[in-house]
Amino acid sequence: MTKGSTIPSLLMLGTVHHDPKGYGKLCRFLEQEQPAFITVEISPYGRAFRAQRSKAFRAMLRENLGKIRKEEGRSLREITFCSAILGIFFLLKEPYEWRAAKDYAARRNIFLQDIDLSSASQEKLSLLPELILLENLRTLLRIPFPDLSSQVESQYRRARFLLSHPPSIWPKSPGVMGREAYMAQKIRAIARQAKGKKGLHIAGWEHLIELPHGESLIGYLKDLRPQKVLLEDGRGTMRYAKADPQSMPLYP
């Protein structure tokens, strides 16, 4: 923040999901900004699912990957370096965005809320039984995906461009727009209760894109004059990397 500038009452922080250094970057950002309340793009269903069922799914995933190792003679390194396989493990983990926010909120004793639509999480997580099937895992291991670091950097490059050059056309559906409106309504209600105190919303960077007719999360909140920040940039200090207590190993 430059000297003499107005402090916004709402910051919207765009993240790249599955960023291996995301936890550390976000911890640094939170300590720097010290919000009075935090909302996160995660649903109550998603949190409950991971707490109650992810252990069993991880066990099945490891078992199937173990079978593939024996059948095909693949090394553990080859399997764990496949970004598609890593993506499944990440899907089963509590996202770093929530973990960092939860840890900060507990230390500072501030309000924290999961605000995403549970039905959207339920639809996405319902695909897990198919994702961990032996045949699907074999297929994923045969496809030459870019490594995770390359994918994350590619997402940051795309985010930097689209956040500074809003698109004139963007794919949308009633379901997506309904989800954006739902989250905006939740954020607005919490911000009003905070009565001008600085708040922070943490979400995937796509939710910060300004779309035509204001049909995006940040567009629905435009009257609150939110300031958008990309986690990688974060006032120029977000290349900090703090050890994530739940980062690796994901497998075995």
Whether the pLDDT of residue 244 is over 50: the answer is: no
Whether the pLDDT of residue 49 is over 80: the answer is: yes
pTM value? 0.87
* Cβ contact 93:54 at 8 Å: yes
Mean pLDDT for the stretch of residues 189-196: 92
Whether the pLDDT of residue 19 is over 90: the answer is: yes
Burial group, residue 246, by CB count within 10 angstroms (0-12, 13-18, 19+): exposed
pLDDT band, residue 243 (cuts 50/70/90)? very low
Whether the pLDDT of residue 171 is over 80: the answer is: no
